Structure 1
Amino acid sequence: MAQAPRPVQEPNFGNFETTASHCSMDRNGTVNNCSRVQLTQRGRTGLRIRFSGPGGEPGSTSRVTFIASHPTGELALACDKGNCKPSGTPWAATVISGSTAQFNARGLPDNLPKAWPMRGTCKISQELIACRSQSRSGWTLSAEARL
C-alpha cells in the first residue's frame, strides 16, 4: 500500500507575541490603549498584526488587526518550528485589510467583527510596530506599539 507524499511544510510560519511598553489603537479618531501585539506569519504571503488591550467594560478586550503583504515577499519574522522573533532588520509592507473586534469578560464577541479592505502601511523595527490605514470610504484605522 503506497503512502501519499506529505506536503512540504513552509518553514517560515509561526507567531511572535509581546507586551508593549506603550501601545494605542485609533479607530477613526477613537483612541484606546492596548498592551499586547501578536504577529502571525504563514510563509511569504502575508503577516497578521494584531493589537489587543482592555475594552470599555471590566474584563473585556478590544482588538485591532491588520493584514499586510510585502511586495517582494520579504519576511518580517525569523521562525523555527513555529517560534518566531522579528527578523532584526526594519520591515515595511502594504496593508490590504483591517478589522476590529470587541470581546466581553467571558471572551465572547460583543458583536460581529468588522473588516474592511484598506490601504496603508505597517512598519516593524526593534523598537516599534506601527500600522496606519484607510478604507475607500475614508474610515481610518491605526495602531502603534513601542517595544
Structure 2
Amino acid sequence: MIRLWMATLLLAVPAAGAPTLAFGRLEHTPSRCQIVANGRPLDCQRLQITANGSSGLRLRFIGDDEETGGSYQLSFISLEGDQGSPLSCDRSGCRLEQSRWSASLLSTAWVRFDARGLPTGLPIARTASGRCWIDAETVSCESHSRNAHAMSAEAQL
C-alpha cells in the first residue's frame, strides 16, 4: 500500500524543467597560466569560468603546489558586463560564445588546500575594484583592494 501511495505521489509531482537562468561551468587547461597573489608569481594549471545565474561570473585560476602536494585558487567574482555573459551553457556543457568581453569586479578570494583537498585556513576574500577580460586568446583579471596587494591572473586559451 505504501509503495502504491509513493508511486502515485511521484507521478503527481511535475518533472523539473530546464532552468531559465544559465548555470554551468567551463573548465579549461590553458597553454600558459600565471597568478600573482600577495606579490608572488605562481603558475596555474586550470581555469574554471562559472556562471552564477544571470548576475555575473566566477573566474577561478587553480594551481598545484608541488612543495606540499596541495593546491591554491585565486577567484575573481565579476558583474555580468555590458555585453551580457560570454558563457553559453546547455545540457552538453558550456562554451565561450563571445570573443571579446570585459566586466568590473566585485571581489577576490585566495585559498590554499592541502594534499587531501582540505582548506589550510579560511579563504582570504575581499571586496575589490578591477576588471576581468576575455578575448580570443586570453582570459585575465586584475584587482586592486585597499590595504592589500594587487591580485592578478592570466591564462592563454
TM, length-normalised to structure 1: 0.89
Taking the aligned partners of 1:43 and 1:112, their CA distance within structure 2 comes to 25
3-state secondary structure, aligned to 1:137? coil
Taking the aligned partners of 1:52 and 1:100, their CA distance within structure 2 comes to 10
Which residue of structure 1 aligns with residue 77 of structure 2? Answer: 67
Q: 1:72: Cα distance to partner?
A: 3.7
Q: 1:91: Cα distance to partner?
A: 0.7
Question: Which of 21, 25, 41 lines up with 2:31 in the alignment?
Answer: 21
3-state secondary structure, aligned to 2:119? coil
Which residue of structure 1 aligns with residue 113 of structure 2? Answer: 103
With over 3 angstroms needed to count, the CA separation of the structure-2 counterparts of 1:85 and 1:65, relative to structure 1, is: same
Q: Which 4+ residue blocks in structure 1 deviate beyond 4 angstroms?
A: 1-4
Taking the aligned partners of 1:141 and 1:92, their CA distance within structure 2 comes to 17
Q: Which has the higher strand share?
A: 1
Contact 2:82 2:103 in 1 (8 A): no
Instruction: Please give the per-residue CA displacement for 1:67-125, whole angstroms capped at 9, x wherever unaligned.
Output: 00034460120111371111133110001100000001111111111100000000012
With over 3 angstroms needed to count, the CA separation of the structure-2 counterparts of 1:88 and 1:72, relative to structure 1, is: closer
Question: Which of 126, 140, 151 lines up with 1:141 in the alignment?
Answer: 151
Residue type at the aligned position of 1:132:
E
Residue type at the aligned position of 1:89:
S
RMSD, matched Cα = 2.2
Residue 49 (str. 1) matches residue 50 (str. 2): no
Contact 2:140 2:155 in 1 (8 A): yes
Gaps of 5+ in 1: none
Which residue of structure 2 aligns with residue 88 of structure 1? Answer: 98
Which residue of structure 2 aligns with residue 31 of structure 1? Answer: 41
Larger gyration radius, structure 1 or structure 2: 2
Residue 76 (str. 1) matches residue 86 (str. 2): yes
